[in-house]
Amino acid sequence: MKRISALSVLVSVLISCSEKPVGQNNEKDSAYTQKADSVLNLMTLEEKIGQTVLFTSGWDVTGPSMDDNYKEYLKKGSLGAVFNAFTTKYNRELQEIAVEDTRLGIPLLFGYDVIHGHRTIFPIPLGESASWDLELMEKTARVAAIEASAEGINWTFAPMVDVARDARWGRIAEGAGEDTYLGSLIAGARVKGFQGDDLSANNTILACAKHYAAYGAAMAGRDYNTVDMSENELRTTYLPPFKAALDAGVATFMNSFNDLNGVPATGNEFLLRDILKGEWAFNGFVVTDYTSLNEMVPHGYAKDEKQAGEIAMNAGVDMDMQGGIYMKYLKKSIEEGKVSEADLDDAVRRILEMKFRLGLFDDPYRYLDEKREKEDILNDEHLEIARDAARKSMVLLKNKNKVLPLSPDRKVALIGPLVKDEKNIIGNWAAAGDRGGTAVSVFEGFEERVGKGNFLYAEGCKLTGDDISGFAEAVATAKKADVVVMVVGELEGMTGEAASRTDINIPGKQKALIEAVKNTGKPVVLVLMNGRPLTLEWENNTVDAILEAWWPGTMGGHAVTDVLYGDYNPSGKLTVSFPRTVGQLPLFYNHKNTGRPVNPGDPDQKYVSRYLNTPNTPLFPFGYGLSYTDFSYEVAVDKERITPADTLTVTAKVTNTGNRDGEEVVQLYLHDKVASITPPVKQLKGFEKVFIRKGETATVKFELSAEDLKFYGPDLEWKYEPGEFELFVAGNSDMPFTHSFELVAE
Ligand code: GLC
């Protein structure tokens, strides 16, 4: 009998199962805690430390590789988890070492950055968030987990739930945009998708809320940079999506690289022990980001790596990703009394609990089913979901003279460096996604939709560089067409980690190409593929239509074609503001009013909070997106005043006044006129995406109570205050308030 089954027999005899869902505040007597303790009590100090060690397999690297002796560590039981390893063959090889060749045979976790799909790649998370479709986002995370687990992965380092308001920051691509309320709902949906209802199922995996915390507020949008803010701002804007992930049962957290108010997140006891494990009673485990533990030395927070390890373990970090510090120094730190073995036990218990929840002690090979590997990956069902997600993520930003949708009888010229692209189209964090031909390019999408040879093509120029030798051919091609569709944007590597930009224009000679083509007089439709808001003022003044396609993923080409030809009526709405210039950043809709707000009627007024050369407003606001049809709103509220015991009902009758069915994201925004902390000028407080047939009307109701009016007061108390409020319901955030009400004391 193999060790592991002996161990699991011993453990299961000890404990009856009173299983509780992950993320609940499980008391110490939970079944999993007891199971973990029964293993913990068998472990040597070295074996305990081994569980806190995570190394990359070297198969794929997502940061500076520190040490590739992972197999040696594995054999010694000095490794509790491996990341960047997948396929059933490879992972079985590693799992067998852990289970068969070590004293206790404790199975490994296998982690990977399955951020927006595993083999079937969905739109980047920022793009997908523009669908405002929570069910869809849960579904794509579910599919990602099915595919990842079919290749031996049982833990993903996702969802990234960092609120981001600065488009210079490349990692804005990985999250859900600038709004805390929407980002919190999306965080919960993605956690549920990855983890499903039962972690012991072999197609559900541990999720990881990252990067805890406030990483998206890096100064100047420069990755890894300093973060400094009030606790009020931290709790108001940056923590809620993490709490939403925890409430959805997220199994793990990843601390961020940045320091927060002078303390690196990796050693931040306030974040980890006071809030996460204390106030929120988190019962999962915390992993560092890639060598973020080591980085406390260059942060100037630890004099050496050993001290960094002591700070981190004392602060509540349970697992060291790639740093090798817990492995090298924890034993000595404990012997010196600088770290308590009780804290190590708590860390190991949390890790073991998750391995029990995954069912790895019952069957460590449960995620290594070759049959699933063949059947559950890149199948038709998943590809159709990817096409649907990509369509629903796209945002129509401009459509002058209804140049879109294209009619089949008009000759189209496809021009631009991303027309035939099958590499960048899957975005920057595409894990095991194939960049060598699996993805559908726009060119291929057109071939399927209008037939080979029934449209024209010219590349025009590359994504970057100064070569304009292709312009002449592009111009000549444009002249032969009735309408030009230009597919332009960024290199996928221009967004994501370590990819901040101080200039967020479309790069290279693409703008010049657009100008040359536009000068032919033909209508020009821009299809953008990018991972962040870009500065598009010139393009918006020059071309006839703009479709924001983000990095749409494996089925991107079909999805773009579906939207351009109206097979799908675009319904996406921006979840990040698009600035006019990079100088406006950070830019977000729910800003404060200041004491000297701009008077819209007098934009050139002196001595108000504005720039001399650019309006404060975005080019395209949060919540904005056009459709091929139009919607009109009729809004009513049922009371003029409410007490804390009342509910205000806001009713929106939304009519599709156009000649085509479509979906609308009906959004409710609220403004607290006066509060003991300066209030934002507006806040999203509710939304519903509704399908409305042409000529029909849908009724959407929002219920507001005093609970929805709460904020963190001067002493951080979570409270509402009586006073005047105003609201509106519309299809984007840049609309006037239409109704008001009063909250009165009891
Ligand atoms: C990277 C990223 C993090 C990722 C981790 C593992 O540095 O910051 O998001 O999950 O390392 O690849």
- Residue-by-residue DSSP string for 60-120: S-SS------HHHHHHTT--SEEES--SHHHHHHHHHHHHHSSSS-PPPEEEE--SSBSSS
Q: Which of 7-16, 381-390, 430-439, 715-724 has the lowest mean pLDDT?
A: 7-16
CB atoms within 10 A of CB 477: 21
Reported pTM: 0.96
CB atoms within 10 A of CB 266: 33
Q: Could you confirm whether 289 is annotated as catalytic?
A: yes
Tokens (6 digits) for 380: 């038709």
Task: Tell which atom from ligand 1 comes closest to the C-alpha of 111.
Answer: 6
Which residue's alpha carbon is nearest to atom 3 within ligand 1?
289
Distances (CA, A) of 408 to 346, 359, 446, 526: 64, 54, 11, 18
In 3D space, the residue among 69, 57, 43, 33 whose CA is nearest the CA of residue 109 turns out to be 57
Contacts of 248 (CB under 8 A, 6+ apart): 23, 187, 188, 189, 191, 192, 195
Task: Tell which atom from ligand 1 comes closest to the C-alpha of 256.
Answer: 8
When pLDDT is cut at 50, 70 and 90, the band that residue 261 belongs to is: very high
Q: What is the pLDDT of residue 60?
A: 61
pLDDT in tens, 99-143: 999 999 999 999 999 999 999 999 999 999 999 999 999 999 999
Q: What percent of the chain has pLDDT over 70?
A: 95
Cβ atoms of 184 and 200 within 8 Å: the answer is no
pLDDT at 325 over 80: yes
Instruction: Tell how far CA 562 is from the center of its chain.
Output: 25
Q: How far is the CA of 468 from the centre of ligand 1 (A)?
A: 37
Sole residue written with tokens 């999962």? 284
Cβ atoms of 706 and 718 within 8 Å: the answer is no
Q: How far is the CA of 158 from the centre of ligand 1 (A)?
A: 10
Q: What is the pLDDT of residue 30?
A: 80
Task: Tell which atom from ligand 1 comes closest to the C-alpha of 84.
Answer: 12
When pLDDT is cut at 50, 70 and 90, the band that residue 61 belongs to is: low
**113, 223, 293: which to mutate for ligand 1, most atoms within 8 A of CB?**
113
Which residue's alpha carbon is nearest to atom 10 within ligand 1?
157
Q: How far is the CA of 214 from the centre of ligand 1 (A)?
A: 15
Average pLDDT over residues 280-286: 96
pLDDT at 14 over 70: no
Which residue's alpha carbon is nearest to atom 7 within ligand 1?
290
Q: What is the pLDDT of residue 509?
A: 98
What value does the mean pLDDT of the chain take?
94
Q: What is the pLDDT of residue 22?
A: 53
Q: How far is the CA of 289 from the centre of ligand 1 (A)?
A: 6
In a 3-state reduction of DSSP, which class is residue 270? helix
Burial (0-12, 13-18, 19+ Cβ within 10 Å), 655:
middle
Q: What is the 3-state secondary structure (H, E, C) of 3-31?
A: HHHHHHHHHHHHCCCCCCCCCCCCCCCCH
Task: Tell which atom from ligand 1 comes closest to the C-alpha of 113.
Answer: 10
In 3D space, the residue among 643, 586, 659, 653 whose CA is nearest the CA of residue 616 turns out to be 586
Average pLDDT over residues 667-696: 98
Contacts of 336 (CB under 8 A, 6+ apart): none
Amino acid symbol at 230:
S
- DSSP code of residue 275: I
Burial (0-12, 13-18, 19+ Cβ within 10 Å), 72:
exposed
Catalytic residue, candidates 113, 289, 544, 562:
289
Q: What is the pLDDT of residue 75?
A: 87
Tokens (6 digits) for 115: 């951020």
Distances (CA, A) of 622 to 137, 175, 395, 590: 19, 15, 11, 9
Apex 689 CA angle, 687 and 691, nearest 5:
150
Task: Report how far residue 205's alpha carbon sits from residue 196's, in angstroms, rounded to the nearest whole number.
Answer: 8
Burial 417-441 (b: 16+ CB within 10 A, else e): bbbbbbbbbbbbbbbbbbeeebbbb
pLDDT in tens, 703-725: 999 999 999 999 999 999 999 99
Ligand 1 site residues, Cβ closer than 6 angstroms: 62-63, 113, 157, 210, 289-290, 497
Q: How far is the CA of 551 from the centre of ligand 1 (A)?
A: 20
When pLDDT is cut at 50, 70 and 90, the band that residue 659 belongs to is: very high
In a 3-state reduction of DSSP, which class is residue 452? coil
The pair phi, psi for residue 663, each rounded to 5°, is -110, 145
Q: Which of 70-79, 289-298, 418-427 has the lowest mean pLDDT?
A: 70-79
Q: How far is the CA of 173 from the centre of ligand 1 (A)?
A: 14
**59, 62, 212, 295: which to mutate for ligand 1, most atoms within 8 A of CB?**
62
Q: How far is the CA of 112 from the centre of ligand 1 (A)?
A: 9
Task: Report how far residue 664's alpha carbon sits from residue 655's, in angstroms, rounded to the nearest whole number.
Answer: 10
Half-sphere exposure of residue 428: CA atoms within 13 angstroms, side-chain side: 25
Which residue's alpha carbon is nearest to atom 11 within ligand 1?
290
**112, 290, 500: which to mutate for ligand 1, most atoms within 8 A of CB?**
290
Task: Report how far residue 45's alpha carbon sits from residue 534's, in angstroms, rounded to the nearest whole number.
Answer: 52
Domains of the chain: 6-372 (3.20.20.300), 395-584 (3.40.50.1700), 631-743 (2.60.40.10)
Q: What percent of the chain has pLDDT over 90?
A: 92
Q: What is the pLDDT of residue 702?
A: 98
Please tell me which residue, 16 or 642, carries the higher pLDDT value.
642
Task: Report how far residue 702's alpha carbon sits from residue 430's, in angstroms, rounded to the nearest whole number.
Answer: 37
**289, 321, 428, 500: which to mutate for ligand 1, most atoms within 8 A of CB?**
289
Contacts of 744 (CB under 8 A, 6+ apart): 641, 642, 643, 722
Cβ atoms of 114 and 156 within 8 Å: the answer is yes
Q: How far is the CA of 290 from the centre of ligand 1 (A)?
A: 6
When pLDDT is cut at 50, 70 and 90, the band that residue 57 belongs to is: confident
- DSSP code of residue 461: S
In 3D space, the residue among 518, 564, 553, 559 whose CA is nearest the CA of residue 538 turns out to be 518
Apex 238 CA angle, 236 and 242, nearest 5:
110
- DSSP code of residue 595: S
Cβ atoms of 377 and 434 within 8 Å: the answer is no
Q: What is the pLDDT of residue 438?
A: 92
Which residue's alpha carbon is nearest to atom 12 within ligand 1?
62
Task: Tell which atom from ligand 1 comes closest to the C-alpha of 208.
Answer: 10
Task: Report how far residue 150's alpha carbon sits from residue 374's, in angstroms, rounded to the nearest whole number.
Answer: 8
Q: What is the pLDDT of residue 23?
A: 52
Apex 310 CA angle, 309 and 311, nearest 5:
90
Cβ atoms of 552 and 394 within 8 Å: the answer is yes
